[in-house]
Amino acid sequence: MCGIVGYVGAGNAQDIILDGLSKLEYRGYDSAGISIIESGKMKTRKLSGRLGVLAGSLEKDPISGTIGMGHTRWATHGAPTDDNAHPHTNGKGTIAVIHNGIIENYRPIKDELLALGYKFKSETDTEVIAHLLDHYYEGDLLQAVFKTEARLRGAYALVVMCESSPDEIIAIRHESPIILGVGEGENFIASDIPAILKYTNKVVYIENKDIVRLTRSGYEIFGEDRKRIDRQVRTIEWDLESATKEGYEHFMLKEIYQQPSVISETINRRLDENGSLFLENIAIDEDTIKLINKIYVVGCGTAYHAGLVGRYLLQEFLKVDAQAEIASEFRYSDHYIDDKTLVVIVSQSGETMDTIGALKAAKAKGARILSITNVVGSSIARESDDIFYTWAGPEIAVASTKAYTTQLTAFYILALYFGKLKGTLEDKCYDEILAELKTLPGKVEASLPAFAEKAKAAAQEIKDSKSIFYLGRGLDYYTALEGALKLKEISYIHTEAFPAGELKHGTIALIEEGTPVIAVATQQSIYEKMVSNIKEVKARGAVVTGITRKRNTDLSEVADTVIYLEESFNIFMPLLSVVYPQLLAYYTSLAKGNDVDKPRNLAKSVTVE
């Protein structure tokens, strides 16, 4: 959550910070603020509302300076108000702090500071940091930061400035991501790469518990023991254009249409000169895979839905018990895990706090950790034994689309590769499935124009609905879960997914005349049973859209509308069947006049528990 940008150099800090924050609004957009040292004085301005509110204020009354920091907020403690917006300052306004995360022990610290006479203006946990820094500051900002950080408990990234130290910015990473941008005569701190990519492609991934001191001429990094350490400077290979809309009305639409190319990229990067699979960054060999007797697949939200499909594939191809679990539940459950357990962690950002917690809990019990993530050098990637990068490129829209389909692609590749390695998948079957996998990008691309037209029309029909239901069985139920999530998170229509066979056990009571139902029916072994379930809701007045294969022309006799998919193997239907629900969610949100890329109450990278 929350976007952070800090700058020290010779440029116009206000313009650089606002530009960087504009690339980070997907991380939070309840309020925004900025602190800049102008002519030796700290100037802070912060306002509730989108970043444009702050930008408009600064256009009328700019703040000049070459060192500063800014923040765009996703609210945790306290409502989105001017007072609760970041930066937060000490009483004199000479020390400023911006913060991503949660300070778990802020209440006793606040009580202590109140007893010392400090006054508070906000409801946030962040303000205690500014006053605590003030309490410890004796002319050396870095030492004050060291003392303050030792008092804090929680998950956070902090950036600190002081009027009496006008040439330095200090940042802390504790479980919440920040990156350092290295320039010529200028340096940057930010919560994500797009914020600084316009100015430099040289970055340092700040490790957990690092403290960074930035000046115009350079930077210092201090490890957990507070001794100076070196971190690798990396070159970012993708450019800023990759993070722009490229002519599409919204990032989400662009990212839906990017899916053929990113699925292809995810596959092609794993093919050798003979067209067979090879996996770099994965050191699991034949002996290791044969020792694995249990697999857990762990993720949150959309990543969890991908994990449900992945669990099925790994169990089917490796003939080993596999379970999929929600990360926030997994980390607090007592699982039987040992060195023969493989835990597959799924996270688009690689910074999802609940998922990191699950990873650490599994690792502490001796499990081998394989992560599927889109971000090179992310926390999850660095903590894992093996890594599968999805190569989806930057995903800016809060509602995930291309990250999901590349995660599915990753699971297809992993299941195929491990199945062959273990010997539980015959060579002929491996060759046939791999050949079909290579056709999927073309099949997704071929479906997009027709799906878009049908979704536009359907959106007008459902945009005023009170409730919408998705149904599916087997692998189709996982598509139903993801389709329902997409629709609810950006259209704000109550949408639920149910296993179709469970209807008669209670949930069919929710169906009434005119209720929209979207039924996913692609699994041929249970197709006839799915048709029976559709008839059950039709008998109660539902208006049904069916999603099925081209071969199932008879579905038009039961459903009001049918979306026909390209033919493929059963296991690949979750990837093909999710594209129409993505487009339906997009066009429904658009029809309702919502902010498609920045839905209310949500943020892209969930870095709080």
Catalytic residues: 2, 604
Q: What's the sign of the alpha-carbon dihedral 567, 491, 25, 372?
A: negative
Rounded CA gap, 556 and 224, in Å? Answer: 64
Could you tell me if 520 and 533 are in contact, meaning their C-beta atoms sit under 8 angstroms apart? no
Which residues are CB-contacts of 357 (< 8 A; sequence separation ≥ 6)? 327, 328, 331, 609
Q: Give strand pairing partners of 299.
A: 326
3-state secondary structure at position 358: helix
Rounded CA gap, 408 and 584, in Å? Answer: 20
390-420 b/e (C-beta count within 10 Å ≥ 16 → b): bbbbbbbbbbbbbbbbbbbbbbbbbbbbbbb
The DSSP secondary-structure symbol of 110 reads: H
> What's CA 566's distance to the chain center, in Å?
29
Q: Give strand pairing partners of 294.
A: 341
Which residues are CB-contacts of 327 (< 8 A; sequence separation ≥ 6)? 298, 299, 300, 304, 352, 354, 355, 357, 358
Q: In terms of DSSP bridges, do strands 322-326 and 294-299 run parallel, antiparallel, or are they unpaired?
A: parallel
322-326 β-sheet, strand order: 322-326, 294-299, 341-347, 368-373, 386-389
Written as six digits, the tokens of 1 are 């959550």
Cis? peptide before 499, omega within 30° of 0? no
The DSSP secondary-structure symbol of 533 reads: H
Rounded CA gap, 100 and 174, in Å? Answer: 10
Could you tell me if 537 and 517 are in contact, meaning their C-beta atoms sit under 8 angstroms apart? yes
Rounded CA gap, 77 and 407, in Å? Answer: 33
Q: Which of 251, 232, 123, 101 is nearest to 175 (CA)?
A: 101
Q: What's the sign of the alpha-carbon dihedral 507, 508, 513, 519?
A: positive
Q: Max alpha carbon distance in the chain (Å)?
A: 79
The DSSP secondary-structure symbol of 271 reads: B
Number of H helices, E strands in the chain: 19, 25
3-state secondary structure at position 335: coil
What backbone phi and psi angles, to 5 degrees, belong to 594?
-80, 165
Which residues are CB-contacts of 316 (< 8 A; sequence separation ≥ 6)? 415, 571
154-162 β-sheet, strand order: 88-89, 95-103, 154-162, 165-174, 211-214, 219-222, 228-229
Compute the residue count for the chain. Answer: 609
